[in-house]
Amino acid sequence: MSPRGARVPAVRDWGTREYTDALSEMRRLRAARRRGEIEDSLILVEHPAVITVGVQGDDGEAFPAGVPVVRVERGGKSTFHGPGQLVGYPIVDLEPRGRDVRRFVGDVEQLVLRSLEAVGVSAGRVAGRRGVWVDGTRKIASIGVAVEEWVTFHGFALNVATDLDAFRSFHPCGFDGRVMTSVARELGRTVPTEEMKGPVRAAWAEVFRSPTPPGSTGSARDVVAAGARS
């Protein structure tokens, strides 16, 4: 079966990787997927401390000293990545999935929800707010994607055992940083990032195994930033 529309999506585990290096490689893989050289793939990675700022900007706020700030093409405002956070970058061709960006973002949320359910964390969506929430008040995962030539990149950031104090010195996604939570906090125990990889891999295969029929239309040159990290 050709890479485009492959039924069993791949997983690439990068371990820990500097954000700018990962960003360059993620963009390269997006282009390779567009050319049909690779199949749909989920990149799993953990980053050293960094703040990224999406297309909606940062509202001019001051960020903590000593933490690199990188401006990128994904949807949303600013957020933090760091040790203890599992980041997933789905590289997915939306052509055989109907070019439906909204549905794709919903599928990414569903992937995270299934992963959390597998470890005993009950979470859900909140109307008007992207991301995944616990009890509708505590944000455990952020979603922020970009789509170029109908291939997705960027993705989700799941707080597994993240130092939540890192969010409190600015306004991640425009929210008070105190709304952030983690798998470890919700379960009340130490949770290694590695523990979440199995559930995430399983959910990725379940949610993204089969593409939907083509539906919507649009230029293959479109660049879309969607799924504000909120």
Cα separation, 144 vs 77, whole angstroms:
9
Nearest to 55 by CA among 69, 33, 72, 70: 72
CB 59 within 8 A of CB 211: no
Instruction: Classify residue 4: in a domain, yes or no.
Output: no
For 89-103, the pLDDT digits (tens) are 999 999 999 999 999
Cα separation, 128 vs 120, whole angstroms:
25
Instruction: Classify residue 147: in a domain, yes or no.
Output: yes
First-residue to last-residue Cα distance in the chain: 37
Instruction: Classify residue 16: in a domain, yes or no.
Output: yes
Nearest to 204 by CA among 106, 96, 112, 118: 112
Domain of 188, CATH number, reads 3.30.930.10
Cα–Cα distances in Å, from 175 out to 136, 161, 169? 14, 20, 11
Residue 225: per-residue pLDDT: 54
Instruction: Classify residue 214: in a domain, yes or no.
Output: yes
For 143-193, the pLDDT digits (tens) are 999 999 999 999 999 999 999 988 887 766 666 668 899 999 999 999 999
Instruction: Classify residue 3: in a domain, yes or no.
Output: no
| Number of domains into which the chain is organized | 1
Domain that holds residue 215: 10-226
pTM of the entire predicted model: 0.87
Active site residue 173: yes
Instruction: Classify residue 52: in a domain, yes or no.
Output: yes
Residue 60: per-residue pLDDT: 62
Instruction: Classify residue 203: in a domain, yes or no.
Output: yes
Q: Which of 43, 101, 173, 200 is catalytic?
A: 173
Which residue bears the tokens 């055992």? 161
Residue 211: per-residue pLDDT: 60
Residues of the chain with pLDDT under 50: 1-6, 212-224, 227-230
Q: Is the dihedral of CA 74, 79, 81, 85 positive or negative?
A: negative
Residue 8: per-residue pLDDT: 64
